[in-house]
Structure 1
Amino acid sequence: MGRVRKALAGPWVIAVVVVAVGGVGFGLYWFQPWKLWQDQTVQEALPGVAQTSAPPAEASSDETTAQPSPATGPQTLAGGELISHEHETSGRVKLVRLADGSHVVRLENLDTSNGPDLRVWLTDAPVKRGQAGWRVFDDGKYVSLGKLKGNKGSQNYALPRDVDPASYRSVSIWCDRFDVSFGAAELDRV
């Protein structure tokens, strides 16, 4: 009788161990908890803005450094401050028209948690504070501008040419895996 129990217990134990290991592996893949302790900083310049250095000492005070004029350089059309949703999030969002007529969403001084499958979304949803705002951005019209390049820093996300930026009113740092906003900003027209 003891041998029969031992023989039956062996396959069950192995099956339970295999299922447990598989479950832990899936959980680690799905949640990626290590990202909570990994920061990725990205510092991108705004396209079309020449990086200038201080003028040489012999230059007269009448000379100016090369700066784009408002007519030919990037123009901020709208912007707003990021508010926290699922994760503590801060920074500023700008909708910018570049000199060539294209548009970018610019995140400045972004500071949020890292997470699995984070995206930058341009949406038509209003920004709501607290838990009421966590899941509203996929209810209406939205455009994914791509994966979040870094959870800290300043970065640019190009809008597709066929997207009319005037028909969108907010930007969300969206976790596509869990369908939740980490943070969002209302785009107030300038």
Structure 2
Amino acid sequence: MPLLLVLVVVAGIGLFLFQPWKAFTNTAVDESLPTASAPKMKDGPQKKENAGTQGEEASMPRMRPKDLAQGHFVTHEHDTSGTARTVRLADGGQVLRLEDLKTSEGPDVRLYLSTGTADAAKAGLDDGAVELGKLKGNLGNQNYPVPSGTDLSKYRSAVIWCERFSVSFGAADLDPVK
């Protein structure tokens, strides 16, 4: 009887750690690139003496998002493909966008910006890596807000990282867009 109890406990721990069912599942995400209007003036709404034209704010041109860097994923521990793009939004916010992503599901998979190259991520994350959150899905298009104040020019790659097993599923070098 004690042996059976030990086997059940070991099996439970194994299922928790490895989550083998994820080898047979997919989570698809299809988010569009976020848009934002031009930043508003600090003073808030226009003062009465400047408000001669109705709908002036509505007719202001909308700024477009600007690509800062992009690259294609390479495979590390799991087949991974797709594109990573860093984008500055019209409101000044920044996102890391994954497009046409295809990778494996796994336990506790997260997305990072790394100061190292995609190739260097095979050996591990660098000390300066910034976590952007849990991977929303292993397939599709998705956006991850970059923390305010992050200087994207310091980051050379995007890394899909499994925290539980400390391995990179794949990574993409982020080359500046000219």
Fold agreement, TM-score > 0.5: yes
Match of 1:145 among 132, 138, 143: 132
Match of 1:156 among 135, 143, 148: 143
1:77 aligns with 2:64: no
Q: Does the aligned pair in 2 maintain the 1:85–1:181 contact within 8 Å?
A: yes
1:1-190 to 2 correspondence within 5 Å? 14-48=1-35, 72-128=63-119, 133-136=121-124, 138-190=125-177
Q: Does the aligned pair in 2 maintain the 1:118–1:174 contact within 8 Å?
A: yes
Q: Which amino acid aligns with 1:134?
A: K
* TM-score, length of structure 2 as denominator length: 0.82
Higher helix share: 1
Percentage of identical aligned residues:
49
Deviations 1:86-121 (CA, angstroms, capped at 9, x unpaired): 000000000000001110000000000000000010
Q: Does the aligned pair in 1 maintain the 2:115–2:126 contact within 8 Å?
A: no
Q: Unaligned stretches of 5+ in structure 2?
A: 38-60
Q: Does the aligned pair in 1 maintain the 2:36–2:89 contact within 8 Å?
A: no
CA distance in structure 2 between the aligned counterparts of 1:188 and 1:141, rounded to whole angstroms: 18
Distance 1:133 1:123, change over 3 A: closer
Query: 2:123 aligns to what SS in structure 1?
Result: coil
Q: Does the aligned pair in 2 maintain the 1:125–1:140 contact within 8 Å?
A: no
Q: Unaligned stretches of 5+ in structure 1?
A: 1-13, 51-68
CA distance in structure 1 between the aligned counterparts of 2:141 and 2:152, rounded to whole angstroms: 20
CA distance in structure 1 between the aligned counterparts of 2:128 and 2:121, rounded to whole angstroms: 15
Q: Does the aligned pair in 1 maintain the 2:70–2:85 contact within 8 Å?
A: yes
Please, what is the CA RMSD of the aligned residues?
Answer: 1.7
